[in-house]
Structure 1
């Protein structure tokens, strides 16, 4: 199935959770990220259970330091 992550298209298996999607998008799991699917934040504790659907709009936000 095709999903959109930060306005880029990715192909994932038909059964894919947030954790699996992150493994496809990133070579190594980054720290300090948040995931929103269809404009709703998905808590990190739910990543292994939350199933991604076709045409979901996914936004990954990475925390940065600075002032």
Structure 2
């Protein structure tokens, strides 16, 4: 499956079934302080498991950082 993550095309085989599965792989389970948009729509963390990915989806991952 082809997905665009943070403006980079990525290929997955096998394809992740859900947004939560993709994030588990991509972020090594570290989802604290993460915001996700799927096709320009923010996906609340409560919906990550139920959100099914489709080929050519565009995913934006934003990580909160500290500093000043």
> TM-score range, shorter-chain basis?
0.7 to 0.9
- 1:42 corresponds to which residue? 43
How many residue pairs get aligned? The number is 67
Q: What RMSD in Å do the two structures reach over aligned CA positions? A: 1.7
Residues 25-36 of structure 1: matches in 2 within 5 Å?
25-36=26-37
Query: Which TM-score applies when normalising by structure 2?
Result: 0.83
TM-score, normalised to structure 1, is 0.84
Quote the offset at 1:7 in angstroms.
2.2
5+ unaligned residues in a row in structure 1: which ranges? none
Q: Distance in 2 between matches of 1:34 and 1:44?
A: 8
Secondary structure at 2:4's aligned position in 1? strand
Alignment of 1:1-67 (within 5 A): 1-8=1-8, 9-14=10-15, 16-67=17-68
What 5-or-longer segments of structure 2 have no aligned partner? none
